[in-house]
Amino acid sequence: MKMKYLFFALLTAASAFTSCNDSAPDPTPNEPCVTCENETIVDSLFEYEAVVKKHMHDPTSTPKYILSISQKDLTSGESYTIANDSLFLPCPALSQEYQEIGLRVKITGYTKSCTNVIGDAETRPFYGRKLELIEIKKY
């Protein structure tokens, strides 16, 4: 168990010294993750309770599976609270095993300074924060 904490501490230290070169959130269809200029770690989450939600801006779009840590969202159905600090777009994207609306999970990872990564300009404002997902498990 101590090795797990040491690994997490080393990853935190290593990630603190990295940054990205792109400006503003720039989703690319061929890349699963968004990047931002001078992207930094905002906070770390260790085995944090979250729930899987699905975001689709129209019926023909490919759904994005997102994570919410909002207490309200942990007990609600398909809806979610629109926010930057409790709604996350995971990077890498969730695997098929975790693409189930309402699935409760424990996540370990880093919240990034890259915000407004969910939504679309035509129907609603942008919101959500990038989450560098290190580990996810069902509970």
Q: What is the pLDDT of residues 7-33, one digit of tens each?
A: 445 444 444 444 343 333 333 344 458
pLDDT of the residue at 48: 93
Tabulate helix, strand, coil % of the chain (nearest 5). 15, 35, 45
Highest mean pLDDT among 38-52, 59-73, 107-121: 38-52
Q: What is the pLDDT of residues 76-111, one digit of tens each?
A: 766 677 766 888 999 999 999 999 999 999 999 999
Cα–Cα dist 125/116, whole Å = 8
pLDDT of the residue at 107: 96
Write the single-letter amino acid at 3. Answer: M
Q: What angle do CA 73, 69, 99 make, to 5 degrees?
A: 80
Q: Are 27 and 36 in contact (CB under 8 A)?
A: no
